Amino acid sequence: MCGRYTETKVSSVLTEHFRDFIEESLLDDFRPRFNISPGQDTPVILNDRERVLDLVRWGLVPFWAKDEKTGYKMINARAETLTVKPAYRKLIEKRRCLVLADGFYEWKKGGNVKAPHRFIVNDGEPFAFAGLWERWRRPDQSELRSFTIITTEPNRLVRFCHDRMPVILPRSACEQWLDPEFTDLEKLQKLLQPYPDTDMKAYPVSVLVNNPRNDDPQCVEPARAQ
pLDDT in tens, 111-121: 788 899 999 99
User: Going from the N-terminus, what domains does the chain have, and what CATH number goes with each?
Assistant: 5-220 (3.90.1680.10)
Q: Quick one: pLDDT band at residue 225, thresholds 50, 70, 90?
A: low
Decide if 196 contacts 182 (C-beta within 8 A).
no
In this prediction, residue 91 carries a pLDDT of 95
Verify whether residue 106 is a known catalytic residue: yes
Separation of alpha carbons 73 and 91, rounded Å: 17
Secondary structure of the chain as H, E, C letters: CCCCEEECCCHHHHHHHCHHHCCEECCCCCCCEEEECCCCEEEEEEEECEEEEEEEEECCCCCCCCCHHHHHHCCEEEHHHCCCCHHHHCHHHHCEEEEEECEEEEEEEECCEEEEEEEEECCCCCEEEEEEEEEEECCCCCEEEEEEEEEECCCHHHHCCCCCEECEECHHHHHHHHCCCCCCHHHHHHCCCCCCHHHEEEEEECHHHHCCCCCCHHHHCECCCC
Provide mean pLDDT across the span 24-28.
Answer: 90
Of 133 and 27, which is predicted with more confidence? Answer: 133
List, in order, residues 6 or more apart from 184 with CB less than 8 Å away: none
Stronger pLDDT, 111 or 179, i.e. the higher one: 179
Q: Say if residue 183's pLDDT is above 50.
A: yes
In b/e form, how buried is each residue of 187-208, taking b as 16+ CB within 10 angstroms? ebbebbbbbebeebebeebbeb
Q: How confident is the model at residue 16 (pLDDT cuts 50, 70, 90)?
A: very high
pLDDT single digits (tens) 33-78: 999 999 999 999 999 889 999 999 999 999 999 999 999 999 999 9
**pLDDT digits over 192-217, tens only?**
999 999 999 999 999 999 999 999 99
Please state the separation of Cα 188 from the chain's center in Å. 17
CA distance 49 to 22: 12
* Closest to 167 in 3D by CA, of 137, 201, 127, 139: 127
Q: What mean pLDDT is predicted for residues 172-197?
A: 95
Integer Cα distance of 174 and 163 in angstroms? 25
The pTM of the full predicted model, rounded to 2 decimals, is 0.96
Cβ atoms 218, 32 nearer than 8 A: no
**pLDDT (average), residues 114-131:** 97
Mean pLDDT, the chain, as a whole number?
94
Cα gap 174→171, rounded to integer Å: 5
> What does the pLDDT average to over 76-83?
95
Whether 161 sits among the annotated catalytic residues: the reply is no
Q: Annotated catalytic residue: which of 97, 106, 161, 174?
A: 106
Query: Over 80: is that where the pLDDT of 147 sits?
Result: yes
Q: What is the pLDDT of residue 28?
A: 83
Lowest mean pLDDT among 6-15, 105-114, 138-147: 105-114
